[in-house]
Amino acid sequence: MSLTEYRRKRRFVGTSTGTREPEPGKRLPQGKRAIFVVQLHHASRRHYDFRLQIGDALKSWAVPKGPSYDPSVKRMAVEVEDHPVDYAQFEGEIPKGHYGGGHVAQFDHGVWATEHDPEAQLAKGHLHFELFGDKLKGGWHLVRSGKASRQPQWLLFKDRDEYAGTLEADDLLADVTPPPEEDARRAGRGKATRKHRSEVPVQAGTKARDWAKLAAKLTRARKAPAPTGFFPPQLAKLGGAPPEGDQWLHEIKWDGYRIIATIAKGQVRLWSRNALEWTDKVPEITGALEGLGLKSAALDGELIAGTGTREDFNLLQGTLSGERLGTLSYALFDLLHLDGVDLSEAPLIERKTLLEQLLGTGTRHLSYSSHAIGNGEEAFELAGQQHFEGIISKRADRPYRPGRGDDWRKTKSLHSDEYAVVGFTAPKGSRSGFGSLLLATPDQTHSWRYVGRVGSGFSDTLLKDLTRRIGRAGSKEPTVFVPENDTDLRSAKWFEPRFVVEVNFRGVGGQGLLRQPSLKAVREDKSIDDLRDSDRGAGGPARKAAAAKQTRRSAKPVARTPPKLSSPTKVLYPDDGYRKLDVAQYYEAVMDHLLPEIAGRPLSIIRCPAGTGKACFFQKHHTPGMELVRFVRLKEEAGNNANYLVVDDAAAVMELVQFNALEFHPWGAHADDPDRADRIVFDLDPGPDVPFAEVRRAAMDVRRRLEELELESFLRTTGGKGLHVVVPLQPRDDWTLVKPFAQSFAEALAQSEPDRFLSVASKRLRNKRIFVDYLRNGRGATAVASYSLRARPGAPVAMPLAWSELSKLTRGDAFTLADVPARLKRRRKDPWAGIELVKQSLGRFRPK
């Protein structure tokens, strides 16, 4: 949002007559939730200023009569210029003669939330939102009026919820001090004797019941004083498969933050898992629990955003940090105390039955975490299909026992775990702060054991925050056991385990190192000591995950469900009659071969919404509507940051197919390490009149010259006229080395045989020669993936081949959608098998 208009209308402090209003440029501390503020403004006309933080500014409206709690009363709200966020703290006088001159007093402030994109709602003309202040609570609406006016006019009115009533803003001025002239005006209107309030009373959401009497009926229930503070929660052990038997109940494993709630004398307090108080951090949960009208209670549950799935965890983090706006709720799964009765010794199934009664038919921001009895495998599979992280299995007949034990077990459908941060690598390329975080896990033999590094999944804000947090800590000597001599760690800085992060990964390598890790979250709710729990046996969670993969009945994590294919009969290859369904079936058939080529890499696609006979377009950035495809935020050459497409599984690939993607073009680097290449691609692109036999001979020449440099290479058809010669790099090399090497190689080839090769892209010079295209080897450049279709007549495929097959190849587009699946079924050996195991790099070619 622009603050240009705000600045234009004001003369700030610096002159004798300047206003003390905040000048744009200053910002409130980061990591806070999005705020709202309402200010009572005694300008030429008395009004209320209503402001909502969206991004880095306060969207603002002038409301002459102030908000009303009566849903039938619609108050005019005139849209005014955006204000800086720190205007929320402003009170006092705006000098006479200045824009808005008069007295400003704070009426109410707090945080706010909305279920959908606020800017999109405002653009459509209807914003539905919730306020969590002392005076303004519950749901509200802003609807744009159809009246033509110089400034956009909106209507502000209350939701019909538990807070609706007859109160007006002017009824809530007990703690707001107006200027003296306002008292006189109010007296003149006959309102001087009106009794004012300072806050809205809590609305009890449950019917009055004798909860103590009901609680006392539970097995082993006993009278006890109300809890006055944090109590340690019961924890689950990680298992490879759900336990069997009807003595177990199975709940969804919510993807959120564990929250402990206590109520004493009606006062609610919230605590994180590691005993940090969260009462003021999530006022919607505090208010919802107050609305239960209980004298005392102790509850256990998970703070979630949206529906609490894996995809919603980023929304939860973004909401708590102020980067996004989402609706939070508290999924409750246990009740340990109720109105003077201790229930911790009662069987879990009885505690949950009473908890369900307590929550009734549902209270906004509170939900009951339901369960299934027995059939653990079925519950686990269903959780995976619905995109949840897994399940928690609990003994239904057992009491509540703090700490980790065998009565609670967790089974995850996604490889993710928490690790200690023990160091960092230096940033490379356009990256600032650090390149990646070094991770470790507790180990019985070495105390702490290095499991890899994570360099993707960081927003710009988080990157800056963690850089400040780390400061200048670290030394060159590892503080943990490192299982292999990784040359990429020679310049790393190490320190003792500092804080906890949660990481997603695609499995575990032979050295116990995580494959393709990406940051899921910084776990402020967990401490280093939490990682020493007993569910992390010898070898740490990485080996646990590998073992679980082998022992789980389903043999692999439950796959995500791809979207339903729309318009399956749409013809995408008009010359050949291939439909969207044919394309989808092709990619399903080759998925096991395609996925290793593109998974975890920044990806560009070619989409053909109307088929190859009409306009197709190249897309590299993530767009709304993509739910299974994730993104990685990367800096581009222009200096801006953009969200690049990344796929991790078959479901994500098929979502792109649903978006009419035909071609897949990955980077020669991984999303977790975008500044270093693990592939070099030489694209041999023949000019007109170059026979394919010459292209074959050129590929063999490139291979031979690479062998002279002790570099092994692999062969691929492009699905077009030419061939690719691909050089794997392990360990990975910086683009600053890879691109000059590729260019020098191509130029040397062209200089040695100028009648056959050229190293410039000019079509004018390409006649009867082969362009050795090295431009695919820069940061952000892409090359078509093996097994990808091409958006060309015949639906050709980029196909990897063994060098021994080259002599029989007659064309670069010899393989098509129609024959590749059958070819793969007949093929005995993958010609690129072991490409990821080839150990070679360009280090010896680095200029000295």
- Tell me the C-alpha distance between 135 and 126, whole Å: 23
Q: What are the φ/ψ torsions at residue 348 (nearest 5 degrees)?
A: -55, -40
Burial of 201 per CB tally in 10 Å (0-12, 13-18, 19+): exposed
Residue 840 CB coordination number (10 Å): 18
Number of helices and strands in the chain (H, E): 15, 40
Residue with tokens 């967790």: 410
Cα→Cα distances 269→110, 261, 296, Å: 18, 6, 11
Q: Which amino acid is at 208?
A: A
Contact between 583 and 662 under an 8 Å Cβ cutoff? The reply is yes
What SS3 state is found at 499?
coil
- CA angle (635, 4, 622) in 5-degree steps: 30
Peptide bond into 731 cis (omega under 30): yes
Reading the block at residue 584, the tokens are 């989808």
The catalytic residue among 59, 135, 137, 253 is 253
Contact between 141 and 62 under an 8 Å Cβ cutoff? The reply is no
Cα→Cα distances 182→39, 76, 520, Å: 15, 22, 53
Task: Supply the DSSP string of 281-338, one letter for each residue.
Answer: T-HHHHHHHHTT--SEEEEEEEEEETT--GGGHHHHHHHHHTSS---EEEEEEEEEEE
Enclosing H/E stretch for 57: strand 57-63
- Tell me the C-alpha distance between 613 and 609, whole Å: 10
Contact between 404 and 410 under an 8 Å Cβ cutoff? The reply is no
| 62 CB-near residues (< 8 Å, 6+ apart) | 41, 47, 48, 49, 50, 77, 78, 80
Burial of 808 per CB tally in 10 Å (0-12, 13-18, 19+): exposed
Whether 253 is catalytic is yes
Residue with tokens 């706006």: 325
CA-closest candidate to residue 603, choices 644, 655, 637: 644
- Tell me the C-alpha distance between 797 and 813, whole Å: 7
Contact between 535 and 418 under an 8 Å Cβ cutoff? The reply is no
| 695 CB-near residues (< 8 Å, 6+ apart) | 684, 686, 721, 722, 723, 770, 812
First-to-final CA distance of the chain: 49
- CA angle (778, 783, 787) in 5-degree steps: 155
- Tell me the C-alpha distance between 275 and 277, whole Å: 6
- Tell me the C-alpha distance between 510 and 508, whole Å: 7
Q: Which residues are catalytic?
A: 253
